[in-house]
């Protein structure tokens, strides 16, 4: 068996855009063994709304206000943020009923710096502190040479504007070894 990856790029331009697409697979395919995705934003990243001060309840019951720019260790611990939701992705193979892959697509891990006190001096970014990325492993045997896909944008909808970005879908497959 030989493992390889098929790259499919979707260009999203409109808020709430829904896309139906197909991924063509080679004729000697034996199974789908993994899926991964990535997001490349083409427009300037939208400005986030001004963060209000957060309330933290102390062990003695008193309430402290933490300002967004507060870099103290306590403030960092309370800065848990939701990852940026970008859209919904679903894939279906002709060899099986129903979706074989359904995922919420997120742009990044917004909490890489959570509880990392070194973040006070060396800012934690996704390109400095991220872990190695591997595909989501699965085993979808089949011989059909087409995957049907569906994607719906959520990023543009959230910011109520048309944001252009590219979604990369990587389908890892195994094929018969050439004899």
Partner 1 sequence: MIKTTKKRFDIRITQANATVSETFELDKNIVRIQGLLLSSDKDDLLYYRGAQKIEINKEEYFPDNYESKLLMTGLNVSPKQRYYDLGGASAGNGRVQLTYKDTDDGRTVFAPYRVSLYLDCELEDLK
Tell me which residues touch partner 1 (CB under 8 A).
4-7, 9, 36, 38, 40-45, 112, 125-133, 168, 170
Residue with smaller CB distance to partner 1, 65 or 138: 138
| C-alpha separations of 27 from 53, 101, 125 in Å | 57, 21, 41
Locate 164 and state its tokens. 């252009």
Residue with smaller CB distance to partner 1, 63 or 131: 131
Q: Are 172 and 3 in contact (CB under 8 A)?
A: yes
In angstroms, give the least distance from the CB of 26 to partner 1: 12
Helix (H, G, I), strand (E, B) or coil at 144: coil
Residue with smaller CB distance to partner 1, 64 or 162: 162
In angstroms, give the least distance from the CB of 114 to partner 1: 12
Q: Please give the backbone phi and psi of residue 62, each rounded to the nearest 5 degrees, phi first.
A: -75, 160
In angstroms, give the least distance from the CB of 21 to partner 1: 15
In angstroms, give the least distance from the CB of 135 to partner 1: 9
Q: Please give the backbone phi and psi of residue 105, each rounded to the nearest 5 degrees, phi first.
A: -90, 125
């Amino acid at each position: 068996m030989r493992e390889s990856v098929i790259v499919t790029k979707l260009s999203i331009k409109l808020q709430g855009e829904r896309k139906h697409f197909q991924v063509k697979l080679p004729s000697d395919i034996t199974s789908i063994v993994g899926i991964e995705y990535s997001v490349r934003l083409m427009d300037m990243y939208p400005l986030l709304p001004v963060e209000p001060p957060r309330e933290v309840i102390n062990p003695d019951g008193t309430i402290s206000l933490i300002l967004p720019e507060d870099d103290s260790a306590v403030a960092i611990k309370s800065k848990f943020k939701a990852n940026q939701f970008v859209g919904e992705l679903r894939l279906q193979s002709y060899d099986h009923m129903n979706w074989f892959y359904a995922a919420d697509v997120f742009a990044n891990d917004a909490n890489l710096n959570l509880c990392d006190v070194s973040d006070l001096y060396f800012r934690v970014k996704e390109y400095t502190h991220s872990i190695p990325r591997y595909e989501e492993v699965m085993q979808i045997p089949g011989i059909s040479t087409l995957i049907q896909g569906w994607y719906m944008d959520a990023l543009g909808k959230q910011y109520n504007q048309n944001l252009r970005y590219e979604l990369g879908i990587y389908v890892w497959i195994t094929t018969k070894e050439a004899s």
